[in-house]
């Protein structure tokens, strides 16, 4: 199937072809005709499936088909809400790129940066606005944005927005939109809250769902490396140097842990930077750009900060610490092995984390192969310690203590954990760790 066969215009197909896409992904093949028809859409798809183009392409097409006269102030016609600044920036970049042969104007808006340039930009023409909910409401309050002519609304990564506490903001925003409009809701999981939101905002939606790009993906090689709590950094340095890994995305549970690890890797001679919510937008953008270009070997991130990092063929994801919420493991490793390329997901697991690993394996219904690196065998005398506030005790002693996403309660529901093949979901993980000599 081609993009043209989906009913997209020549200008859009040209831009997509130049981007290097030859065929629509499954979510695109299903979602694009629905959106073009004007229907509401409820889509089950996570990052990595090509969902962004699944909604941006048909929105561009619909808006360009009925371009408003240039005279007078043209209203904002499409609003795309996203949970994080990174995701908003990436969606807007896609809108700009796919719409480069059209006469439509887009804008992104998010918090953490000066509001004045955004106010300035809103005075000009904006057809498509990509925003995070909080900053959009700041503009609403200041009466610097008019949402009364929105024709198409998108909620992207709706489950994440709910997780991050945006539900009230979203409801406030919904109340400001015209009743007559097209609604598209994208979510990776469908807990009850999402179902309620979908019921309240969607009008006879078409349902589209694609297989998750996740732990089941054959393209992702998963490994567990047993190691002592205090020797993780040493092992990580060893693995990166030994295998000459580049573009390594490393996850830690806390912002403090991310900073500290990036610093230590730097001392080991491995260029690394941390990104998380406490960093300025400029610092995050710079780190991402350097990471994408390959200049920066390692990017250390917390779960929230990593949302929306969009890099094709990200080869290595490392769980420096396992997440407390098993679904986060699936999200994390879903950042590798994308769009047909192979990837490796490595987890450094200490004695404190055996239960977390067991929960992950139960969820994904597969056992992750254990690889013991000689010289890093765990010392059997070291006993498990509870992981408090997202940190091991050893780390707490060194300060930090910010609330991390891993402390938020586990999401319920969703499509995780079903229809997975694979061996040995029931075998407790800790039986596979024998300590020294394995």
Stretch near ligand AMP under the rule CB under 6 A, chosen from 41-49, 65-73, 132-140, 419-427: 41-49
Buried b (16+ CB within 10 A) or exposed e, 9-32: bebbbbbbeeeebeebbbbbbbbb
H/E element, 55:
helix 51-65
- Which region, judged by CB under 6 A, interacts with ligand AMP, from 22-30, 141-149, 222-230, 358-366? 22-30
Q: How far is the CB of 366 from ligand AMP (least distance, A)?
A: 23
* Structural tokens at position 294: 């390959």
Instruction: Assess contact for 228 and 375: CB atoms under 8 A.
Output: no
Q: Does 52 bind ligand AMP (CB under 6 A)?
A: yes
Site for ligand AMP contains 343 (CB under 6 A): no
106-109 and 78-81 beta bridge pairing: unpaired
Minimum CB distance to ligand AMP, residue 9 (Å): 17
326 counts as binding ligand AMP under rule CB under 6 A = no
The CA distance from 98 to 154, in Å, is 17
Question: Which residue spans within 33-131 are E strands per DSSP?
Answer: 41-44, 78-81, 106-109, 128-131
Does 331 bind ligand AMP (CB under 6 A)? Our answer is no
| Residue closer to ligand AMP (CB basis): 18 or 23 | 23
Smallest separation, CB 319 to ligand AMP (Å): 21
CB of 45 to ligand AMP, least distance (A): 7
227 Cβ contact partners less than 8 Å away, ≥ 6 residues apart? 235, 348, 349, 350, 373, 376, 378
User: What is the gyration radius of the CA atoms in the chain, in angstroms?
Assistant: 22
CB of 51 to ligand AMP, least distance (A): 5
Q: Which pair of tokens denotes residue 2?
A: 């081609």
Contact flag: residue 310 with ligand AMP (CB under 6 A): yes
Tell me how far, at minimum, the Cβ of 26 lies from ligand AMP, in Å: 10
Selected from 35, 40, 50, 322, the binder of ligand AMP by CB under 6 A is 50
Cβ closer to ligand AMP: 20 or 409? Answer: 20
- Please pick, from the candidates 41, 51, 316, 433, the single residue that binds ligand AMP as defined by CB under 6 A: 51
Say if CB 232 and CB 351 are below 8 A apart. no
The residues of the shown chain that bind ligand AMP, judged by CB under 6 A, are 21, 23-25, 28, 47-53, 310, 312, 338-339
């Amino acid at each position: 199937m081609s993009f043209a066969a989906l009913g997209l215009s020549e200008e859009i197909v040209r831009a997509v072809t130049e981007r290097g896409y030859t065929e629509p992904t499954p979510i695109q093949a299903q979602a694009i005709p629905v959106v073009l028809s004007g229907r509401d859409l409820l889509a089950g798809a996570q990052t990595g499936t090509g969902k962004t183009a699944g909604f941006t392409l048909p929105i561009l097409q619909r808006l360009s088909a009925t371009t408003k006269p240039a005279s007078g102030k043209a209203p904002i016609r499409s609003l795309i809400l996203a949970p994080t600044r990174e995701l908003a920036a990436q969606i807007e970049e896609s809108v700009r790129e796919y719409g480069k042969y059209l006469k439509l104007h887009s804008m992104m808006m998010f918090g953490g940066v000066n509001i004045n340039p955004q106010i300035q930009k809103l005075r000009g023409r904006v057809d498509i606005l990509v925003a995070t909910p909080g900053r959009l409401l700041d503009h609403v309050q200041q009466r610097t944005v008019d949402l009364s002519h929105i024709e198409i609304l998108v909620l992207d990564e709706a489950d994440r927005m709910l997780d991050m506490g945006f539900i009230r903001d979203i409801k406030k925003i919904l109340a400001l939109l015209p009743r007559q409009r097209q609604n598209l809701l994208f979510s990776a999981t469908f807990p009850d809250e999402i179902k309620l939101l979908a019921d309240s905002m969607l009008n006879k939606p078409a349902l589209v769902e694609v297989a998750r790009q996740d732990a089941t993906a054959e393209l992702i090689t998963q490994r567990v490396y047993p190691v002592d709590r205090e020797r993780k950094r040493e092992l990580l340095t060893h693995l990166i140097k030994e295998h000459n890994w580049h573009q390594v995305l490393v996850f830690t549970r806390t912002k403090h842990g991310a900073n500290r690890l990036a610093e230590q890797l730097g001392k080991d001679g491995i260029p690394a930077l941390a990104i998380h919510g406490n960093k300025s937008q400029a610092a995050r953008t710079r780190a991402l750009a350097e990471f994408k270009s390959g200049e920066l070997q390692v990017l250390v991130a917390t779960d929230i900060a990593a949302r929306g990092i969009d890099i094709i063929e990200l080869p290595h994801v490392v769980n420096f610490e396992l997440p407390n919420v098993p679904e986060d493991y699936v999200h994390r490793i879903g950042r590798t092995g994308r769009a047909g390329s192979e990837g490796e997901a490595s987890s450094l697991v200490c004695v404190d984390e055996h239960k977390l690993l067991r929960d992950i394996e139960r969820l994904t219904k597969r056992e992750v192969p254990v690889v013991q690196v000689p010289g890093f065998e765990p010392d059997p005398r070291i006993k498990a310690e509870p992981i408090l506030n997202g940190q091991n005790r050893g780390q707490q002693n060194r300060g930090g203590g910010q609330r991390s996403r891993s402390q938020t309660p586990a999401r319920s529901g969703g499509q995780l954990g079903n229809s997975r093949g694979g061996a040995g979901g029931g075998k407790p993980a800790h039986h596979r760790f024998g300590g020294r000599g394995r």
